[in-house]
Amino acid sequence: MRLPTTILLPFLPILTLAADLILQIHPSQHVPNPSLLPPTTHATLHASGPPATAYLTRANTFEFRNLTTGSYLLNVHCRDVVFEGLRVDVGGVGAVGEEEGDEQEEGVKEVGGKEKGELVQVWQTFRGNEWDNKGEVRGVGRGRVAAEVRAVAGKEYYQERSGFSVLSFLKSPMILMALFSLGLIVGMPYLMENMDPETRAEFEEMQKKSPLASANNPAAQLQNFDLASWMAGKSTGADEGENGGSSQVRRR
């Protein structure tokens, strides 16, 4: 059932309560040129049972003709673009009197000359919300009513492969850290050499005092941990022994 349930009304008196709905797609950010939308783009109007379907016309519209009274959910199905859902009420469902009052203010968008048609009201609707939770009015009128359906987003089907790029490689925090430390290692000796003697002395003093350099630094202790001496019960002699050993080497 893909054919539009449109109808020929040649000899029917105009008095018949009939409602036509024309939905228009205007160029927008997501649809710069509606004429390029694929021909399979179509709108469905569902209340219950098989939905009414309208295909996209050359004029970038969907036309539903001879709608019966009811409250419909309108969806537009398109390969390239996501469209908003609309609620279409035909006939005296809901607060008609109120809406008719609004009609005068907003300016009725009537296209045809069918003045004695059913009242058609089109609102934005939000999926997963209560049906009475309506959004902006997209069109109100009697008989032949035009409304706008807006694109919400484009459809991006493909995922790009994150290929190798030098810039993104350099930007990664690991590489940045590595580069920084490399810079320090390479640059430090030059910095030290270029310091004036007083500052250098001060700096060396600071380094000696710093907890990192001292023997009490737990990290240093852990690194130089001598299992054998610890097991032998010599807790403090280890450092001395090692120091002594190295001095011996130097003395040679």
Partner 1 sequence: MRLHALLSLASLLPSALAVFADDAYHVDYHHALLGLPQQHTSFFQQPYAGSKAALIYTLSDKLVLGAVNPKDGHIVWRQSLASSDAIKSWLRAGQGQDTVVAAVGSHVTAWSAADGRLVWSAESLSGPVQDLEIIEIEDSEVSAGPKDVLVLFNASTPVVSRLDGKTGQVKWSFEDESGDAPLQVLASGAGIHYVSLHTTLLGGLKIKVVSLDQSTGHKTDQYSLSSESDLSSVDSILFVGANSASPILAWTDKFSRALKVNIVGTKSVASLDIEGKDGVGIDTISLHAPLATNSMPHFLVQIQTAQSHWADVYHIDLKRSLISKAYSLPRVAGKGAFATSTVDANVYFTRITADEVTVVSSVSHGILGRWPLKATAVPDLSDQPYPVSAVSEVVSRSGSAQAVRSAVLFSNGEWALIRNGEVTWSRPEALAGVTAAIWAELPETESLADQLEIESHGNILAAYIHRVKRHAGDLQYLPGWLQKLPSRILANFSGGSTRRPLDGLQKDSFGFRKLIVVATEKGRMAALNAGGSGKILWSMDTVPLTAEEKWTPQLRTSSGGAIAVHDQARGLSLLIDAATGKLLPVDPHVNSAFRHPSTGAAVVSYSLAEGEVRAHTPGQENPIPLWRFLPATDESILDITPRPADDPVASIGKVLGDRRVLYKYLNPNLVLVTAVHRTASTLSVYLLDSTSGDVLYTASHSGVDVTRKITSAISENWFTYSYTLDVSSSSLSRGHQLVVAELYESAIPDDRGPLDTAANYSSFQPAAAPGDVAKPHVVSQTFQISEEISKMSVTQTRQGITSRQLLAVLPESNSIVGIPRNVIDPRRPVGRDPTPAEVTEGLVRYSPVVDFDPKWYLNHKREVFGIVGLITSPSLLESTSLIFAYGLDLFGTRVTPSFSFDVLGKDFNKLQMLATVVALFVGVMFVAPLVRRKQINSRWQIT
| List of residues contacting partner 1 (CB under 8 A) | 1-8, 10-11, 38-40, 42, 44, 46-50, 54-58, 63, 70-73, 75, 77-79, 85, 87, 125-133, 152, 155-164, 249-250
- Please say which residue, 93 or 191, places its beta carbon nearer to partner 1: 93
Structure tokens at 159: 């995922």
Distance CA 38, CA 135 (A): 28
User: Cβ 108 to partner 1, closest distance in Å?
Assistant: 23
Q: 152 or 206, CB closer to partner 1?
A: 152
Q: Tell me whether residue 55 or residue 108 sits nearer to partner 1 (CB atom).
A: 55
Q: How far is the CB of 234 from partner 1 (least distance, A)?
A: 26
Q: Which is nearer to partner 1, 121 or 125 (CB)?
A: 125
Q: How far is the CB of 81 from partner 1 (least distance, A)?
A: 10
Residues 15 and 115 sit within 8 Å (Cβ to Cβ): no
- H/E element holding 134? strand 134-142
Residues near 9 by beta carbon (within 8 Å), at least 6 away in sequence: 16, 18, 65, 66
CB of 218 to partner 1, least distance (A): 26
- Cβ pair 68, 119 in contact under 8 A: no
Nearest-5° Cα angle at 140, 139 to 146? 50
Q: Name the minimum Å distance from CB 229 to partner 1.
A: 23
CA 212 from chain centre, in angstroms, equals: 48
Give the Å distances, CA to CA, from 201 to 62, 98, 207, 241. Answer: 85, 88, 10, 28
Could you tell me if 118 and 67 are in contact, meaning their C-beta atoms sit under 8 angstroms apart?
Answer: yes
65 or 109: whose CB is closer to partner 1? 65
